[in-house]
Amino acid sequence: MKIAMFDTHGYDEQSFRAIADEYWHEISYFKPRLMHDTAVLAHGHEVVCPFVNDRLDARVLRDIYDGGTRLVALRSAGYNNVDLEAAADLGITVARVPEYSPHAVAEHAVALVLALDRKIYRSWARVRDWNFSLDGLVGFDLHGKTVGIVGTGRIGQTAARIFHGFGCRVLAYDLRPDPGLIAEIGARYVNAQDLFRESDVISLHIPLTPSTHHMIDAEALATMKPGVFLINTGRGALIDSRALIEALKRGHVGAAGLDVYEEEEGVFFKDLSDRVLQDDVLARLLTFPNVLVTAHQAFLTKEALANIARVTLENVTAFERGEALRTEVRAELVLPTGAQAH
């Protein structure tokens, strides 16, 4: 089948080309993000392969449908950027890569905690300037601390196990608590308020839905322990960034590790080093010495990229053969729990 891949980077192309011979699909690698202005690139392709910052709203879906697209094969786990109801109305099938490496994302969340706690990025910069002083670099032992995992699906559970390995006490919050996690590492499920109140480190691993949008707002931040470390590798809009800035200015939040940002679309994945950053909220976040921002790279490991390529091409192959797609995302499957994307 003809596949139009959007927001393509060198690492995407490399991982797909590495296994392309095993499949007969023809891939067009497009650098632009998919949006109304670029949808024309997809014309003549039965499959569109977007990533997290491509926008598949009703208008774009109509555009690509008119151009012959019948399958949206997301090369991501999250699907909050797709209007699933509009896709269903048009008869476009949407598939994703539900699990490519929970380790990649969970390990990145832990890396953010360690880098912030032990101030690795600050010492790296200092030592390069031959400043070998230790003032201002005092961290804390992770051992014995309470870590709150918000969302104990694939990634959250993996993160919980790693923190458990460090000797942390794990609190968990999820709509569907998993008894297995309680038995395995002694995690204690609590409500969100108790998790916020008791945790030294909070790591977000829930999807972005209408009910989780700005889940971490001024009110939630105020209930957190002073000095709390807040880590977000989920989706940017789980956190109200302006409220976070206020909490950081007050010193209430001890550190923030952000792999995602609510307005990352059009900024992340791009080299803007010769431009003036137009997003004042992001610019302010980047001024804090206790905020570490990475540009949505938690997924970026060799293993994850290889799995993304493989599952995406399997999705396309199954669709071509008329087989049921195990990875299909449908509006009616997610709407009742409030898990529809927006």
Member of 105, 256, 293, 329 binding ligand NAD (CB under 6 A): 105
Binding flag, residue 82, ligand NAD (CB under 6 A): no
Sign of CA dihedral 214, 220, 222, 225: negative
Member of 23, 30, 163, 299 binding ligand NAD (CB under 6 A): 299
Residue 4 parent element (H or E): strand 2-5
Member of 50, 78, 236, 257 binding ligand NAD (CB under 6 A): 78
Judge contact between 65 and 315, C-beta under 8 A.
Answer: no
Active-site entry in 25, 169, 296, 310: 296
Q: Which residue is associated with the tokens 């998790």? A: 195
Q: Which residue is associated with the tokens 């109140």? A: 197
DSSP strands (E only) in 218-318: 228-232, 253-258, 291-293
342 is catalytic: no
214 is catalytic: no
Binding flag, residue 341, ligand NAD (CB under 6 A): no
Judge contact between 279 and 267, C-beta under 8 A.
Answer: yes
Nearest-5° Cα angle at 146, 141 to 151: 125
Binding flag, residue 19, ligand NAD (CB under 6 A): no
Pairing of strands 2-5, 26-29: parallel
Member of 38, 81, 93, 212 binding ligand NAD (CB under 6 A): 212
- The residues in 244-283 that bind ligand NAD, with binding defined as CB under 6 A, are 259-260
Rounded least distance, CB 340 to ligand NAD, Å: 11
46 is catalytic: no
> CB under 6 A: which stretch of 38-46, 58-66, 205-213, 246-254 binds ligand NAD?
205-213
SS3 category, 170? strand
> Tokens at residue 48, please?
């569109």
Rounded least distance, CB 168 to ligand NAD, Å: 19
Where does this chain bind ligand NAD (CB under 6 A)?
Answer: 77-78, 102, 105, 151-156, 174-176, 205-209, 211-212, 233-235, 259-260, 296, 298-299, 339
